[in-house]
Amino acid sequence: MRSRYSAYVLRRADYLLATWHASTRPARLDLADDATTWLGLRVLRHEAEGPDRAIVEFVARYRVGGTSAQRLHEISRFRREDGRWFYVDGDFPADA
């Protein structure tokens, strides 16, 4: 999860696509003109759901342009294939 967050910070679409599971990977990802400034990542929990499946719950803070800071709260699903972990998808829980 941390490496994917860093890839967003560095606008490394190639890394994000390479670590995205083939079943849900977009055809392309253009971050070159993205006005998002990432402010921090906090991993809330991570749990194995078997030997090759896991979830990671995190909150990432960001700002777009001159707007106030926003939060992205996600519970992400990951799958391991051939020893490598891939991001599959995620849910956005309602914050209390």
Q: Where are the domains of the chain?
A: 2-91
Confidence (pLDDT) at 66: 83
Topology of domain 2-91, per CATH?
Nuclear Transport Factor 2; Chain: A, (3.10.450)
Please give the Cα distance from 28 to 83 (Å, whole number). Answer: 24
Over range 83-87, report the average pLDDT: 97
Confidence (pLDDT) at 94: 82
- Write the secondary structure of 62-96 as one string of H (helix), E (strand) and C (coil): EEECCCCCEEEEEEEEEEEECCEEEEEEEECCCCC
Q: List, for residues 35-52, the tens digit of each pLDDT value.
A: 999 999 999 999 999 999
Please give the Cα distance from 89 to 81 (Å, whole number). Answer: 15
Confidence (pLDDT) at 95: 65
- Decide: pTM greater than 0.75: yes
Query: Within 13 Å of residue 66, how many CA atoms lie on the same side as its CB?
Result: 0
Over range 42-71, report the average pLDDT: 95
